[in-house]
Structure 1
Amino acid sequence: MATEARLPIWMRPEPGTRRPRFTRDQIAATALAIADADGFEAVSMRRVAAELGAGTMTLYHYVSTKDDLLALMDDAIMAEVLLPDEALPRDDWRAATSLIARSSRDAFFRHPWALEGLRGARFGPNGMRHFEQSLVAIEATGLPPRERLALVAILDDYVFGFVTREVGERSERTTAEGTEWDEEAAFDYLEGMIDGGDFPAMRRLLGDGDRRAAWADVSAGWSDRFEHGLAIVLDGIELLIERRRADGAPPPLP
């Protein structure tokens, strides 16, 4: 039988004082604020306690371990992902999954350190609510359970993959000294590499004329590439639904 220390924090009651000095929500919000301001590495039990105006040992009265603190942080972010139930259309899986995907993207853009820093954090009640909303949204496809679960995972993979790449690109635009990189010099280097003949596909993409203008043309609308990519993923799901219907699968739920 698991001891209390090994149970997820959600299965353990909060300190049994009539008026606890701190709540788990306060502790999580404080930890998130530290990570947002100074990076995930700055989060420690000592730092969180100091920001709350408490001693470190006092904080341990509320949160037993660093893993518990990470679980609280993760669940606080998942609370930001959640949408009001009335905002999710139950008869339009495409609209519902799009809303969830955008909300997830926005939450993790607010906390760009979280995808890496909170990897492996224990699943909490808000994470379960997000999963429930995702299942409800995809349920209207009428696909069988195994495929519905796979589609939820695919949509999450798309969102998290997009956020990871976008955060990485933003970081790469800034040097270690915190100054913007020289885009002109970088493009000159790229052109030299293309003209060297080692990148024929890039040459075919940009041609031999004004490559800066060619790049501006082919990358036009890239700021909306999240929506473009999401539409492609959802188009693929629609094709899957049509194929399953042709195979005699049950119609979507009413």
Structure 2
Amino acid sequence: MPTRHPSLQQPPIGFAHRGARAHAPENTVEAFSLALRLGATGLETDAWVTADGVAVLDHDGLVGRRPRRRRISEVTRADLPPEVPSASELVPLLEGDVHLSVDVKDPAAAVPLIDALAEGDPTRLARVWLCHDDHDLLLSWREHARPVRLVDSTRLKALAQGPERHAARLRTLGIDAVNLHHSDWTGGLVTLYHRFGVRAWGWDAQHARILDGLLDSGIDAVFSDHTDRMVDALGRARSPTPVPPGVDPGI
């Protein structure tokens, strides 16, 4: 039985990637609602801004059919397909302790996104995590709204000076978490980031063995298309770790 290492985030967040996209059309209110009914504790999406300044949720930022696809930034909100939700439409789902991770694909979407999510209850922003690989952009968004949480989305191979210096820089800047592909993580790497007070997130965790391995390593959040598998893994991680035969539980 592998040793379970503690997470900084208790309990770890289970983000439904683009909603419950293995079970419903991705990045739709239907998918987000289903993910929460299945037990996800967080939602993940991508943000773009329309020509008339509305933050909307879509993966690739293109609408229409080939060869006449158009960028969302060139289209007004009224001309988007109805299944593309605005950030405001997500607000009713962000009740209680639900977290939201947003990959801000168009930096111009950040301010209208933040403003839409803060409408009626600015404290909601403490559970909003904005993801990007540009540290200056991340910090500028916090200047707009202090409660938002910041996440460096990168890959291990992109860390030219190595993970220890990277972790130290994130701590200095006040960036809350680093999001790496699940294959980049080891227990030792999670522990390293935790030593600097930086949360460790793992994405593309689609199978039970990957989810269990990440959670055993002390990861603070996982992302999965398969909300049901993810919720099951989070349940296993919350269960007491069995004591192996012959081991004194008081040690």
The answer, yes or no, to whether TM exceeds 0.5 is no
TM-score by length of 2: 0.26
More helix as a share of residues: 1
Larger relative contact order, structure 1 or 2 (CA cutoff 8 Å, min sep 6): 2
